[in-house]
Structure 1
Amino acid sequence: MAAGVLTSDWAPAFAAVPRSAFLPDLIWPFDMAAGRSVAVCRADDPAAWRGYADDADVPVVTQWDDGEHAGTEPGAVPTSSASMPSVVFRMLGELDLRPGHKVLEIGTATCWNAALMAHRAGPGNVTTVEVDGAVATAARSAAERYGLGVRVVQGDGARGYPEGAPYDRVIATCGVRSMPYAWVTQARPGGVVVVPWGTHFGNGDAVARLVVAADGKSAAGRFAGPVEFMKLRAQRAPVINHSAYVPGSVTNGEESATMLTEPDVLGGQFGPQRFVWGLRVPDCCHVVAEKRDGGRPVWFYGLGGDRSWACVWFQGGEAARVWQSGPRRLWDEVAAAHRWWVVQGRPDHTRFGLTVTADGQRVWLDDPEAGPAGSWAV
């Protein structure tokens, strides 16, 4: 509350619906000091479990590897979780949920978020869709145990839940790279859609708050700020086979140099740079490698099928070495995106917005009516 994330109108729901009531006995909270997820079992260490479940503002993984994981050690890929409470309430604040509103949630996970909304909106007003059968079953049991009248549906969240439409509010708790148009058509005109959105350039997202137009055929609004969510399963990032792009040495690529620094290109963890590069350098992803030999390589891979790649080697204050190959000069595109960003005044996430129609989605800078120079189909 001191940080302004949990507002007074949501405080009763936070007090009445504890996160611990929706978590399994074995959880993997993110240990900020260690920088990794750690296993905590309620039976083995109830105090630690309770501390992470109710007191710590950290994300808690509840499933790895789409349920294929076994044992207590963290798995390879987290696939379901309870988000940080600060992120949960930041997004609920953007949703502007009122008593009596009908809500559609995409991504049930533990059902804590849906239960918070049901406490606010009232019994029978929240429908939540979960793609994973085991996760949906556990969430349904938790919802019934808590008695808040949440409808848990197992299915593909990309199609929404037309049987319950229209909704006053739609919220996704998974990141998307292309917002399903069904979420627009299933919301009322004037309804609000809150969704973490980004590009395949990286794993980061930004929270988009969209308002559905009066004719119900489109939705538009600005980004509120950066977040990072697990992705809608059908929109996960493609797996990159490095050797298929770079079968030999990096020195086989065309070499050049740049005075752009590592902070110029990567920014902070939640800085706007990589969000902007994803807009300005389409069909591209990047991988930040561990430092070695006093430097750090950052790789860029084209996703259009032509196997274009680039690598920049940052080493202290020296000019960075660059190699690139393929029909696209991906590093040149990133450098051009940086120049554009500087000319525009280094805009952060909140100067950008998203418009979704039946024909696709478009991101714009400052003005939703911007022409081709100020907007991009993505």
Structure 2
Amino acid sequence: MGRLLLEDGSLTPDWAPAFDAVPRAAFLPDLMWPHDMATGRNVAVDKRQAPERWQEYADSNDPIVTQWDDGRHDGPEPGKSFSSSSSMPSLVFSMLADLGVQPGQRVLEIGSGTGWNAALLAHRLGAANVVTVEVDGAVAAQAQESLDRFGLAVEVVRGDGFLGYAKRAPYDRIIATCGLRKVPFAWVEQSAPGGVILVPWGTYYGPGEATARLVVAEDCQSASGPFTRPVAFMRMRSQRFVWPRHDEYVPAGAMDAADVSYASSLTEEELCGGAGGFGVVPFALGLRVPEVAHTADRKRDGKRAVWFYGLSDRSWAVIVFRDDQEQAKVYQSGPRRLWDEVEAAHRWWVDQGRPGFDRFGLTVDQDGERPWLDSPGNPVRATGSP
């Protein structure tokens, strides 16, 4: 695995000693649920019953679920919603490479998980220079136990990572291992001048995220930097998204009363594409169409509907693609013309040369987040804004 990670560039040579010295297996529970990449399902593997299979998954590049349903789940079968995990080693080391730690630096980790990521940092920097915050008491306790057993006395703090951990500030590096839609200004304030904050960030538009590598200004009043790579993380628990009820937006008879038009400038492939909603198109559209969530129905009998829900009001839209029709039918209702906004956002993305993740960036200050394209002086403005 180490050789493969080195070959694909996710494991850089400076992190190779930590990879060799700190095995992932030492931080995994006996009962775990690896994500089988071939079937797309999570399978239960118990070390006490199948030690060789357990070790095979522990040494794999697969993500592994370690907790379901915020700890309410019991038994070997997968639960309803995974709530803690061990990320793919390739992702772990790619993010550590982006973090760019140097000897003697102090690091705050948001989201302890199994404790493996904190252990890797502690091996590189010394346990006294690493503190990790975990909101789930059971997860935090298990991470602390694993770190102590491994001989790395990292401080595991049970608390809300959104608040950071002012007691040990300032930090040279802050890394989040959960996805956010809002980056707390507290992290900027608790950083040292020139420090780095690495955070998976996304919008409400879809599940896709990208890691933003933010460099803290000398006055610690802002942080700014580019996105480095697409990622997929569980959201910070305080920022989980509760999907709106469809019938509250589209009650009986609403389709008949909606405005109807036809779309010709955006095809089903362009809107839905591949990557399961994790591609650059939905990421870019989310930057231009704020406070909107969208979901695509499964395609059946040559027909697919894609729905859009306004989160600041009850505006909604749906575009219906049919294989036997050249133009898709659009229904819209509410103060916002959501499909018009989406269509305009896609035209903007095309006009900008179809930029990838690496051309976008993010600035964070006490007023919130401002995404940008190519440079902080070129903000990505929402569709319809001046």
Q: Secondary structure at the match of 1:124?
A: helix
Using the TM superposition, give the Cα deviation of residue 370 of structure 1 relative to its aligned residue in structure 2, in angstroms.
2.6
Using the TM superposition, give the Cα deviation of residue 371 of structure 1 relative to its aligned residue in structure 2, in angstroms.
5.8
Q: Cα distance 1:72–1:373, how it changes in 2: closer, same or farther (>3 A)?
A: closer
Q: Cα distance 1:375–1:280, how it changes in 2: closer, same or farther (>3 A)?
A: closer
Correspondence 1:338 to 2:342: no
CA contact (8 A) 1:363 1:375 kept: no
Q: TM-score, normalised by structure 1?
A: 0.95
Gaps of 5+ in 2: 1-5
Q: TM-score, normalised by structure 2?
A: 0.93
Task: State which drifts further: 283-292 or 316-325.
Answer: 316-325
Equivalent AA in structure 1 for residue 69 of structure 2:
D
Distance 2:381 2:288 in 1: 11
Gaps of 5+ in 1: none
Task: Provide the residue aligned with 1:370 in structure 2.
Answer: 378
Task: Provide the residue aligned with 1:135 in structure 2.
Answer: 139
CA contact (8 A) 1:255 1:324 kept: yes
Task: State which drifts further: 367-376 or 227-236.
Answer: 367-376
CA contact (8 A) 2:359 2:374 kept: yes
CA contact (8 A) 1:364 1:374 kept: no
CA contact (8 A) 1:279 1:376 kept: no
Identity %: 58
Distance 2:384 2:201 in 1: 15
Distance 2:384 2:221 in 1: 19
Correspondence 1:40 to 2:12: no
Task: Provide the residue aligned with 1:315 in structure 2.
Answer: 322
Distance 1:287 1:371 in 2: 26
Return the match for 2:299 from 275, 291, 295.
291
Using the TM superposition, give the Cα deviation of residue 154 of structure 1 relative to its aligned residue in structure 2, in angstroms.
0.2
Distance 1:372 1:75 in 2: 39
Pairing of 1:78-227 with structure 2 (within 5 A): 78-227=82-231
Task: Provide the residue aligned with 2:369 in structure 1.
Answer: 361
Task: State which drifts further: 151-160 or 287-296.
Answer: 287-296
Q: Deviations 1:68-123 (Å, cap 9, x if unpaired)?
A: 11222211111110111111111101100122111000000101111011111112
Using the TM superposition, give the Cα deviation of residue 277 of structure 1 relative to its aligned residue in structure 2, in angstroms.
1.0
CA contact (8 A) 1:108 1:129 kept: yes
Q: Secondary structure at the match of 1:6?
A: coil
Distance 2:379 2:249 in 1: 35
Distance 1:104 1:316 in 2: 51
After superposing on structure 2, the runs of 4+ consecutive aligned residues of structure 1 that deviate more than 6 Å are 374-377
Distance 2:302 2:207 in 1: 26
Distance 2:383 2:26 in 1: 44
Distance 2:210 2:380 in 1: 22
Q: Cα distance 1:248–1:158, how it changes in 2: closer, same or farther (>3 A)?
A: same
For these two proteins, the number of residue pairs brought into alignment is 375
Q: Deviations 1:270-327 (Å, cap 9, x if unpaired)?
A: 42111111111100001122222222221111100x2111112223373222222111
Equivalent AA in structure 1 for residue 290 of structure 2:
P
Q: Deviations 1:340-367 (Å, cap 9, x if unpaired)?
A: 0011111111111111111221111111
